[in-house]
Chain A
Amino acid sequence: MKNKIIQLTQRDTKISRRKLLGGAATAAVAIVQTAEGKNVQAALTQAQLSDDDPTKKLGTFPGEIGTRSSFEKLVKDPSETSSRSPLQDFYGIITPSDLHFERHHGGVPVIDPTKHELLIHGMVSKPMIFKLADLKRFPSVSRIAFLECSGNFRSGKETLRPQEICGLTSQSEWTGVKLSTIFREVGIKPNATWFLAEGGDAAVMTRSIPVKKGLDDVIIAYAQNGEAIRPEQGYPIRLFVPGWEGNTNVKWLRRIELSDQPFMTREETSKYTEFVNGKVRQFSFDIDARSIITFPSYPQQVEKGWIEIRGIAWSGRGKVHKVEVSVDAGKSWQIANLQEPILDKAHTAFRYLWKWDGNATEIMSRVTDETGYTQPTLKQLVEARGESNGYHFNPITAWQIKPDGSVLFKPESFR
């Protein structure tokens, strides 16, 4: 604990620029209270004098790059294979680029954008190579949409934040060239039904994607939230596949091969497939609709009275149609307010104003998308699939509100 200034007794009226910029000379004499509670007279530097009062201290001059406030401690939650976005710390619907979740299979490569090339070949009229500069010359498109890993589910204990439960989803504005534009340039053959997307990382990761989706809305993205894509997100180029499981959004894209059949790569056979009623579901691309309350959530603390419940909802199949909130453990549901913009395949913010009476309860949200799909309970999911784990787990998430105002995740038995 530092000394507290009680009263200024003498002030240097000729404060030089040197002192302002951190000189250690005496700027004032003051009565200060020590950590032990004693009042003593002490000489203060300008820095000490201005410590707690921003109006008494010259601020930082304009700089080349902005920084996050030192009071804000937003961090991802890294493991060996992924790093999760702090959903509980976000406002609105855009994920700060440096807090976008990460998932990669061979680390983040260092790629010189002037050397990087994208090869497109296979069932095309003209196999071609594009440099980053070439791709940027084509007509561009921007789109705000979510990106979620299909393995985005954790449970098992009460002390989980939204970040741990489902922090493998993030949202950005992605800018690039439509894949259909590039397909047109190379002249894909009419019988080309699939294409392979390959990354230039140590995993040389590959996925097969139907040409139909490629022609619909896939982007070769080179920018994210107004600047070049971050290295963790595929610098200099990645595939952006709206609404589809994150793994298909191949990063560090170096090659696309057109084919009349899928390539059956490791990521689409031994991974990113799931047992459903004794069979293995494959090419399960779409992200099912999901929502989560991010406030209040663990480890936040609430007080009796008015609480604005806040969260995000999204669907890989279109727009969010409605979000319902229950404040009585799922017995009854009320419509939440949706914040514009409500975009196709995008995180959408919702709010519900609630007056908490101080009694223990559970709060939860469920989304319905424009196809009429409503986010299921964990029980419904397990019953429908005959399985209790796997990819594409999007159950309703409940938070327990305790009488002391503490908030805990409600883990449900699912194994």
Chain B
Amino acid sequence: MGILSKSLLIFPIVWGLLFSNSGYLSTHSSHFSPSDTSQVPSSFGFGRLATQAEIDRIDIDVRPDGKGLPQGKGVAAKGKLIFATKCVACHGAGGIGGPNGSLVHSQVEPTKKRAEKTIGNYWPYATTVFDYIRRAMPFNAPGSLTNDEVYHLTAYLLSANQIIDSSFVVTPATLPTIKMPAQPLFVPDDRKGGPVIK
């Protein structure tokens, strides 16, 4: 079953508004003594300008709107093969029950109150799957996968969690459109101190 949505991802924008900076210019020095900020030049001139090539070399993050996704594409069948050689030891056959955590949602064990948190039942954005695999996996060889391998693995894990069809082609254009089941559960922290326990 593939759930595709072409609607805008409004959640990150809402987050942006929640933490808006209104008024920061007048209050930002409140935690430091006035002498720390008096007679400060508009620029110290330390450091140097970064070139675009220097930025591109390490700017590997991917946002929920797809910004930062590299060229490439992936399909579940190829991802399954990569998973079986590079991921299965830690994350279990089919992404279930490995020593370092399941990635694929399965039936809740009768002894447990709540299901193990997996991509299928907990991760709110599909782009995070790509971002995280590319930056940190495999654990013993981080950063060793090609972009296409990361796309294949992303497709496999989303397919194994029944979020996309096995025929779905994950690309920079399609990955941000995938709607994750757990996304509506996420709410901003409402703890603010004071007498109420939250």
How many residue pairs at the A-B interface have CB separations less than 8 Å? 201
8 Å CB contact of B128 from A106, A265, A385:
A265
Interface residues of A in 356-388 (CB under 8 A from B): 369, 371-374, 376, 380-381, 384-385, 388
Q: How far is the CA of A374 from the CA of B193 in the complex (A)?
A: 9
Interface residues of A in 271-298 (CB under 8 A from B): 273, 275-276, 278-286, 288
Report whether B55 and A121 are in contact in the complex, using a CB–CB cutoff of 8 Å. yes
Minimum Cβ distance to chain A for residue B190 (Å) = 8
Q: How far is the CA of A119 from the CA of B48 in the complex (A)?
A: 10
Which chain A residues lie closer than 8 Å to B60 at the CB level? Answer: 204
Binds A, one of B18-26, B79-87, B145-153, B158-166: B18-26
Interface residues of A in 96-136 (CB under 8 A from B): 105-106, 119-121, 126-131, 134-135
Report whether B139 and A415 are in contact in the complex, using a CB–CB cutoff of 8 Å. no
Report whether A259 and B63 are in contact in the complex, using a CB–CB cutoff of 8 Å. yes
Given contacts A257-B61, A265-B61, A279-B185, contact A139 B50 (CB under 8 A): no
Report whether B136 and A139 are in contact in the complex, using a CB–CB cutoff of 8 Å. no
Given contacts A204-B142, A270-B123, A270-B128, contact A138 B59 (CB under 8 A): no
8 Å CB contact of B193 from A205, A216, A369:
A369
Q: Which of A119, A120, A137, A205 has the most chain B CB atoms inside 10 A of its CB?
A: A119
Report whether A202 and B40 are in contact in the complex, using a CB–CB cutoff of 8 Å. no
Whether A151 sits at the interface, judged by CB under 8 Å, is no
8 Å CB contact of A206 from B40, B54, B124, B135:
B135
Whether A161 sits at the interface, judged by CB under 8 Å, is no
Report whether B189 and A216 are in contact in the complex, using a CB–CB cutoff of 8 Å. no
Q: How far is the CA of A261 from the CA of B15 in the complex (A)?
A: 6
Binds A, one of B30-38, B69-77, B90-98, B167-175: B30-38
Which chain A residues lie closer than 8 Å to B65 at the CB level? Answer: 261
Which chain B residues lie closer than 8 Å to A204 at the CB level? Answer: 60, 135-136, 142-143
Whether B6 sits at the interface, judged by CB under 8 Å, is no
Which chain B residues lie closer than 8 Å to A139 at the CB level? Answer: 36, 40
Q: How far is the CA of A121 from the CA of B49 in the complex (A)?
A: 10
Report whether A137 and B124 are in contact in the complex, using a CB–CB cutoff of 8 Å. no
8 Å CB contact of B189 from A119, A262, A263, A282:
A282
Binds B, one of A31-39, A168-176, A189-197, A221-229: A189-197
Report whether A131 and B123 are in contact in the complex, using a CB–CB cutoff of 8 Å. no
Residue of A nearest to B185 (CB): A280
Report whether A269 and B136 are in contact in the complex, using a CB–CB cutoff of 8 Å. no
Q: How far is the CA of A333 from the CA of B64 in the complex (A)?
A: 50
Report whether A106 and B131 are in contact in the complex, using a CB–CB cutoff of 8 Å. no
Residue of A nearest to B57 (CB): A119
8 Å CB contact of B61 from A202, A206, A211:
A206
Which chain A residues lie closer than 8 Å to B132 at the CB level? Answer: 265-266
Which chain B residues lie closer than 8 Å to A283 at the CB level? Answer: 15, 19, 188-189
Residue of A nearest to B27 (CB): A216
Residue of B nearest to A193 (CB): B16
Which chain A residues lie closer than 8 Å to B189 at the CB level? Answer: 281-286
Which chain B residues lie closer than 8 Å to A106 at the CB level? Answer: 136, 139, 142
Q: How far is the CA of A218 from the CA of B19 in the complex (A)?
A: 16
Whether A404 sits at the interface, judged by CB under 8 Å, is no
Residue of B nearest to A275 (CB): B114
Which chain A residues lie closer than 8 Å to B142 at the CB level? Answer: 106, 202-204
Which chain B residues lie closer than 8 Å to A324 at the CB level? Answer: none
Report whether A263 and B28 are in contact in the complex, using a CB–CB cutoff of 8 Å. no
Given contacts A126-B49, A129-B48, A204-B143, contact A262 B194 (CB under 8 A): no
* 23 A-B contact pairs sorted by A residue (CB < 8 Å): A106-B142, A119-B50, A129-B50, A130-B46, A135-B46, A138-B44, A139-B40, A198-B61, A204-B60, A205-B136, A212-B19, A216-B27, A262-B15, A263-B61, A263-B64, A265-B61, A279-B186, A280-B186, A283-B15, A283-B19, A285-B189, A317-B193, A372-B195
A contact set with B: CB distance below 8 Å: 105-106, 119-121, 126-131, 134-135, 137-139, 141, 178, 180-181, 184-185, 190, 192-194, 196, 198, 202-206, 210-212, 215-217, 242, 254-255, 257, 259-266, 269-270, 273, 275-276, 278-286, 288, 317-318, 344, 369, 371-374, 376, 380-381, 384-385, 388, 415
B contact set with A: CB distance below 8 Å: 12-13, 15-17, 19-21, 24, 27-32, 36, 40, 42-44, 46-50, 54-55, 58-65, 113-114, 117, 119, 122-125, 127-128, 131-132, 135-136, 139, 142-143, 182, 185-195, 197-198
Query: What 8 A-B pairs are tightest by C-beta distance, nearest first?
Result: A371-B193, A210-B19, A261-B12, A215-B28, A284-B189, A266-B132, A130-B47, A204-B135
